[in-house]
């Protein structure tokens, strides 16, 4: 196997498993330990992985503050929110995730008659003047990094809500790691919502493809519709077609 292809396979393997020992990689790719050491060093030098005792692991990207993320790509996020709102109708029971892109939905659905379950604090506050929005908070502890509530004690209560559309955010999406986020405190909530909702919408800009955060909360095939600004690669488009995932973009 040529070196560039082997390194790509090694990266995918480590990403999928989050970490791998040198001995494990030697056995998996049938090369010498010296070769694996050189490959690992090259992978680590690229910046997405780190050396650990006896092996190598994924280097998780730190989560930016909510305020910093809110102003980044603001115009694109707003347009994604506007497009996502076209999938929402009076009477829907929604889950709105804590991301800055999902927050942009608010301006385009505030006049509709909706029931909204959310842990997004800004969405809750913005909804106060609108009696047509029946808002149910997940409650719990304030998570300042994401401006959201996390609830450890009553997380199973979410199982009782019948959500027909969930609008989710993500720090990164990849084939190896699925749909990810950087806050471990929110992962269980997201997993329950994905399982409960009739349709799951993922709101991300094009920069989130082929990136990943600390935790995986669902597989890519668990998403029914990806709403983004630009078409992803042919590989993602083929995967979406094979798995019945709609990709809706701003440039269509």
Q: Along the chain (252 residues), what's the average pLDDT of each consecutive run of 10 residues?
A: 82 80 90 90 84 79 50 80 97 94 95 96 95 92 82 77 95 90 85 95 92 88 96 94 96 66
Helix (H, G, I), strand (E, B) or coil at 107: helix
Return d(Cα 190, Cα 168) in angstroms, integer: 8
Coil, strand or helix at 242: helix
Quote the pLDDT of residue 69.
47
Per-residue pLDDT, 184: 77
**H or E element that contains 37:** helix 33-45
In terms of Cα–Cα distance, which of 123, 111, 113, 121 is closest to 93? 113
Strand 133-137 relative to strand 19-21, pairing: unpaired
Beta bridge partners of 199: 165
Instruction: Identify the pLDDT of residue 77.
Output: 92
Residue 164: how many other CB atoms lie within 10 Å: 15
pLDDT at 238: 95
d(CA 98, CA 95): 10
Please give the structure tokens belonging to residue 133. Answer: 């929005």
**What six digits make up the tokens of 144?**
């300042």
Would strands 199-203 and 225-228 be described as parallel, antiparallel, or unpaired?
Answer: parallel
User: In the numeric block, which tokens belong to residue 52?
Assistant: 């650990």
For residue 82, the Cα-to-chain-centroid distance in whole angstroms is 19
Q: Which domains are seen in the chain, by residue range? A: 3-58 (1.10.10.10), 66-249 (3.40.50.1360)
> Beta strands 225-228 and 178-181: pairing type?
unpaired
């Amino acid at each position: 196997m040529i070196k560039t292809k082997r390194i790509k396979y090694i990266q995918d393997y480590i990403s999928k498993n989050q970490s791998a020992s040198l001995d494990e990689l030697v056995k998996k790719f049938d090369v010498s330990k010296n070769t694996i050491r050189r490959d690992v060093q090259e992978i680590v030098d690229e910046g997405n992985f780190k050396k650990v005792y006896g092996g190598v692991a994924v280097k998780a990207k730190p989560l930016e503050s909510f305020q910093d993320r809110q102003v980044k790509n603001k115009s694109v996020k707003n347009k994604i929110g506007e497009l996502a709102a076209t999938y929402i109708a009076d009477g829907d029971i929604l889950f709105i995730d804590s991301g800055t892109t999902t927050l942009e939905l608010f301006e385009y659905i505030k006049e509709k008659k909706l029931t909204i379950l959310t842990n997004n604090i800004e969405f809750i506050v913005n909804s106060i003047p609108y009696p047509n929005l029946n808002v149910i908070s997940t409650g719990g502890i304030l998570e300042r990094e994401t401006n959201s509530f996390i609830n450890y004690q009553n997380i199973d209560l979410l199982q009782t809500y019948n959500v027909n559309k969930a609008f989710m955010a993500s720090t990164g999406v990849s084939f190896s790691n699925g749909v990810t986020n950087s806050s471990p405190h929110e992962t269980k909530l997201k997993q329950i919502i994905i399982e409960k909702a009739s349709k799951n919408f993922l709101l991300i800009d094009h920069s989130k493809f082929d990136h990943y955060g600390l935790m995986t909360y669902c597989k890519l095939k668990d998403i029914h519709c990806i709403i983004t600004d630009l078409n992803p690669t042919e590989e993602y488009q083929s995967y979406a077609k094979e798995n019945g995932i709609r990709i809706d973009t701003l440039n269509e």
